[in-house]
């Protein structure tokens, strides 16, 4: 009847007024379902030793193939997951999946020196975060030293003492801590002294101008000097061109990660790569004496 039609029309109208809300709601609903339906997957991007070109570690990165929304980048769904709290079950899935993969690689003698995992501040702040890690290590009978947790500088601003204590507990379990996207945030040298940081990852935004722009090169040079004097491991991320690689070598940056060496790969393809155990990246940029390594 006309009353029902009127109601429908109103619903249509209000729906179009709230498109933004509905989209967000739908992404949220889809994310919920994604966990149940097993739509998330982990891929792994090699990190290479700048001198030998060999794989020194891998970084685990999440992927979501939604049958409804298509392939979504973590940049598109992690922020909403953090807002809604869904990041906790997602992050638990990430850790469990990566630990399981680490076990498989350990059993087949393919374990890289390090497996890096991105940790959301929302998860790190959870009361049970450290015990969750400890239980996973026990369950999979893995040594903590295999893993490096990547956090961002903003975490260090949040919650001073509580976070320092957690990071120390994590370190005492043998795990390494790495500062991701370094240079983009509130980088302050005092943070690095205050927190048990093992590795700094130079943000890829500094790679763009590395072989042309002197400002980027000055910043990267400064970060390299800092890392060396504080005895921190240093990884440059987003290395795409051999010119950038050459500059990083000359600055004695220990490690690099980026499309020049490899894109993030499925677990299966990563396993193939680990089996080959060959240097990655441009041949001509490796010192002669390293060819036999
Ligand atoms: P991130 O941790 O800084 O990861 C590096 C990002 O740069 C990855 O994007 C990677 O695919 C991309 N990348 C690597 N090499 C290159 C390169 O040579 N050129 C360019 N242009 N990009 C490169 P991805 O996988 O889309 O991840 C984006 C961000 O999402 C990550 O940045 C991280 O902050 C977050 N993220 C990814 N996976 C997870 C996860 O499992 N948990 C959490 N909490 N966050 C994650
Ligand atoms: Mg990262
Ligand atoms: Mg990064
Ligand atoms: Mg980044």
ipTM: 0.98
45 lines ligand 1 (CB under 6 A): yes
Ligand closest to Cα of 150 equals: 2
pTM for this prediction: 0.91
Report the C-alpha gap between 51 and 66 in whole angstroms.
40
In this prediction, residues 250-277 reach a mean pLDDT of: 96
Q: Contact at 8 Å (CB) between 98 and 133?
A: no
**Encoded tokens for 106:** 């350990």
The per-residue pLDDT for range 21-68, each reduced to its tens digit, is 676 668 999 999 999 999 999 999 999 999 999 999 999 999 999 988
Average pLDDT over residues 193-206: 92
Residue 1 has pLDDT above 60, yes or no: no
71 C-beta closer than 6 A to ligand 1: no
Ligand 3 centroid distance, CA of 235 (Å): 10
The yes-or-no verdict on residue 196 having pLDDT over 90 is: yes
Q: Which of 67, 66, 46, 65 is nearest to 57 (CA)?
A: 46
- The answer, yes or no, to whether residue 291 has pLDDT greater than 60, is no
Who has greater pLDDT, 217 or 272? 272
| Residue 17: predicted pLDDT | 58
Q: What percentage of residues in the chain have a pLDDT greater than 90?
A: 71
CA–CA dist 277, 54 (Å, integer): 7
The protein residue whose alpha carbon is closest to atom 7 in ligand 1 is: 238
Predicted confidence (pLDDT) per residue in 139-166, tens digit: 999 999 999 999 998 888 766 678 999 9
pLDDT at 287: 64
Q: Are 85 and 126 in contact (CB under 8 A)?
A: no
Confidence tier at 91 by pLDDT (50, 70, 90): very high
Which residue lies with its CA nearest to atom 6 of ligand 1? Answer: 238
Comparing 118 with 67, which gets the higher pLDDT? 118
Scan for tokens 């994310």, then name that residue: 31
Nearest CA to ligand 1 atom 37: 61
Which of 43, 57, 72, 74 has the most ligand 1 atoms within 8 A of CB, as the residue to mutate? 74
Ligand 1 atom nearest 94 alpha carbon: 41
């Amino acid at each position: 009847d006309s009353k029902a039609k009127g109601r429908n029309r109103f619903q249509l109208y209000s729906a179009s007024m709230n498109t933004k809300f509905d989209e967000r709601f739908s992404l949220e609903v889809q994310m919920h379902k994604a966990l149940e339906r097993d739509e998330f997957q982990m891929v792994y991007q090699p990190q290479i030793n700048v001198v030998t070109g060999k794989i020194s570690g891998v970084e685990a990165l999440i992927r979501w193939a939604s049958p409804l929304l298509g392939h979504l980048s973590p940049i598109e769904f992690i922020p909403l997951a953090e807002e809604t709290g869904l990041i906790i079950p997602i992050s638990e899935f990430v850790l469990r999946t990566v630990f399981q993969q680490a076990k498989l690689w350990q059993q087949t003698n393919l374990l890289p020196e390090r497996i890096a995992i991105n940790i959301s501040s929302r998860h790190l702040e959870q009361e049970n975060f450290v015990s969750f890690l400890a239980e996973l290590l026990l369950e999979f009978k893995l040594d903590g030293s295999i893993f490096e947790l990547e956090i961002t500088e903003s975490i260090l601003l949040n919650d001073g003492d509580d976070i320092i204590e957690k990071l120390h507990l994590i370190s005492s379990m043998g795990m390494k801590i790495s500062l991701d996207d370094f240079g983009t945030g509130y980088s302050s040298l005092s943070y690095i002294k205050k927190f048990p940081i093992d590795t700094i990852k130079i943000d890829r935004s500094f790679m763009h101008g590395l072989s042309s722009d002197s400002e980027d090169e000055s910043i990267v040079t400064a970060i390299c000097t800092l890392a060396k004097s504080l005895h921190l491991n240093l990884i440059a991320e987003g290395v795409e061109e051999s010119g950038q690689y050459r500059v990083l070598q000359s600055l004695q940056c220990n490690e690099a990660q980026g499309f020049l060496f490899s894109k993030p790969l499925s677990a299966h393809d990563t396993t193939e790569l680990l089996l080959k155990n060959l240097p990655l990246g441009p041949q001509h940029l490796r010192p002669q004496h390293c060819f036999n390594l």
